[in-house]
């Protein structure tokens, strides 16, 4: 405990985190790159039609190599990262058959942009969610007073469907609503350092209510995103190139002459820094085990997903891991202040309930849909199978998420590990 008190608490501004919007930028993302990059922008804006006409890959193959030197600031690099991610995933999963190589004119700038941002070249949560929106009211593009789903629009999609837009919008709103959790958690840690249990209890109770709001948000997905649409139309495009052998893809070569097969996870909510922040604040630990195979501590799935987060957000999580002490503080004061222990355990229980809600959501949108797809598939069908949704059918315990994990076993393990973090007796 003394060593933790000597380590400074993280300054949100230093890590590109807002107390109002959290891991979302307060200033709306760049809506379009400079005219030099019109070829990229035109491709991504016409992605739906080009895919429908089966001309998308041909259009990308005709595209010249553009220089990233024309990208002048972080907003431009973020926009480029998002645009190139959409183009690349559409290129790999277009038509009836996947390809396993990206042309140089797409791969080279994508790698350069990703390196600049400290990200892996894949369509990650950052490019799909954090940097892929604008305010509806263009007269006040930097206003953050009303971040409701109805007041923001999605910049790019794979399908052009309102179903896909809602899937992204709800995730954006989730990040916004979850922003206060960050400051509340840091206040609780600060008061624990000052040995003020009453203030710690107050902030932990507030955090519990904030997590409950996030849990309830999960139930809104069905309002405008049809499970069948998500499973069959959108999910295949979100898939990366990791653990995709059942879909026929072992990895992707980046560049015409590349001999290196790259294997990356696709866009996943596990790449949300907010979820890992909540785990760290509450000292919820997840075992270093992924895909059914034990691994070294540094290879845990949580640490693996940090590679898909913006560099500063990743650094924030590392900083937070050095100052989080709430569980120990609750245990050390259990006898003199039992209500502190109860408050802490209530927050952990709410996180467990949040994960229960996530499992229910995944069951509805993936597990049940996979079973339905299997029933509709003809035994001797010769239709090429591409993407996650059309991959060889597996048992629900073997279905993989877009991040490449064995979906249900992973989620249940995270839920159980959350419950196992409960501190002592709450009698």
Tokens (6 digits) for 305:
């997903």
8 Å CB contact between 63 and 20: no
Q: What is d(CA 86, CA 110) in angstroms, rounded to the nearest whole number? A: 11
SS3 211: helix
DSSP string across 312-370? HHHHHHHHHTTT--HHHHHHHTTTT-HHHHHHHHHHHHHHHHHHHHHHHHHIIIIIHHH
Phi, psi of 400 (to 5 degrees): -105, 150
Q: What share of the chain is helix, strand, coil (3-state, %, to 5)?
A: 55, 5, 40
Rounded Cα–Cα distance for residues 103 and 106 (Å) = 6
Q: Taking a C-beta distance cutoff of 8 angstroms, is the pair 33, 39 a contact?
A: no
Quick one: tokens of 206? 């507030």
State both tokens at 183.
Answer: 């400051």
DSSP state of 227: H
Helix or strand run (H / E) with residue 152: strand 152-154
The DSSP symbol for 26 reads: S
CA 174 distance to own-chain centroid: 11
Rounded distance between C-alpha atoms, residue 226 and residue 222, angstroms = 6
Cβ neighbours of residue 242 under 8 Å, at least 6 residues apart? 251, 263, 264, 265, 266, 403, 404
**Residue with token string 């959350």:** 418
Q: Is 358 annotated as a binding residue?
A: yes
**Residue 365 Cα to chain centre, angstroms:** 17
Q: Residue 120 and residue 352: Cα distance in Å, rounded?
A: 30
* DSSP 3-state of 49: helix
Q: What residues have CB less than 8 Å from 185, skipping those under 6 apart?
A: 203, 207, 277, 278, 281, 282
Please name which of 209, 199, 192, 202 lies closest in space to residue 331, comparing C-alpha atoms.
192
Cβ distance 348 to 418 under 8 Å? Answer: yes
Binding site listing: 358
Binding residues for heme b: 358
């Amino acid at each position: 405990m003394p060593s933790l008190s000597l380590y400074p608490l993280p300054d949100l501004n230093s890590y590109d985190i807002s107390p109002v919007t959290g891991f979302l930028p307060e200033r709306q993302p760049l809506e379009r790159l400079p005219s030099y990059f019109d070829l990229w922008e035109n491709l991504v804006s016409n992605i739906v039609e080009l895919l429908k006409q089966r001309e998308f890959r041909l259009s990308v193959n005709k595209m010249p190599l553009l220089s990233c030197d024309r990208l002048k600031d972080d907003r431009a690099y973020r926009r480029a990262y998002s645009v190139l991610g959409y183009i690349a995933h559409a290129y790999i999963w277009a038509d009836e058959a996947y390809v396993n190589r990206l042309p140089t004119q797409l791969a080279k700038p994508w790698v350069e942009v990703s390196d600049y941002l400290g990200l892996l070249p894949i369509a990650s949560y950052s490019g799909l969610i954090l940097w892929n929106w604008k305010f509806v009211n263009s007269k006040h593009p930097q206003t953050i007073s009303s971040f409701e789903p109805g007041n923001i629009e999605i910049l790019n999609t794979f399908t052009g469907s309102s179903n896909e837009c809602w899937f992204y919008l709800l995730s954006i709103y989730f990040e916004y609503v979850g922003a206060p959790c960050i400051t509340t958690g840091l206040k609780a840690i600060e008061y624990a350092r000052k040995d003020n249990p009453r203030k710690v209890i107050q902030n932990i109770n507030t955090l519990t209510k904030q997590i409950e709001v996030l849990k309830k948000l999960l139930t809104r997905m069905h309002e405008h995103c049809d499970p069948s649409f998500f499973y069959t139309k959108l999910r295949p495009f979100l898939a990366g190139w990791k653990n995709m052998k059942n879909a026929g893809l072992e990895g992707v070569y980046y560049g015409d002459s590349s001999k290196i097969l790259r294997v990356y996870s696709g866009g996943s909510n596990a790449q949300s820094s907010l979820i890992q922040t909540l785990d760290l604040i509450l000292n919820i630990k997840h075992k270093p085990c992924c895909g059914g195979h034990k691994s070294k501590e540094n290879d845990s799935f949580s640490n693996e997903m940090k590679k898909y987060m913006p560099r500063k957000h990743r650094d924030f999580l590392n900083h937070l891991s050095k100052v989080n002490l709430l569980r120990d503080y609750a245990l050390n004061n259990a006898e003199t202040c039992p209500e502190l222990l109860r408050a802490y355990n209530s927050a952990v229980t709410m996180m467990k309930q949040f994960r229960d809600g996530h499992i229910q959501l995944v069951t509805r949108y993936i597990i049940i849909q996979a079973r339905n797809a299997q029933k509709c598939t003809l035994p001797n069908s010769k239709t090429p199978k591409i993407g996650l949704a059309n991959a060889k059918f597996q048992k629900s315990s073997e279905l993989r998420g877009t991040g490449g994990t064995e979906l249900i076993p992973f989620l249940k393990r995270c839920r159980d590990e959350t419950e196992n973090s409960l501190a002592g007796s709450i009698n």
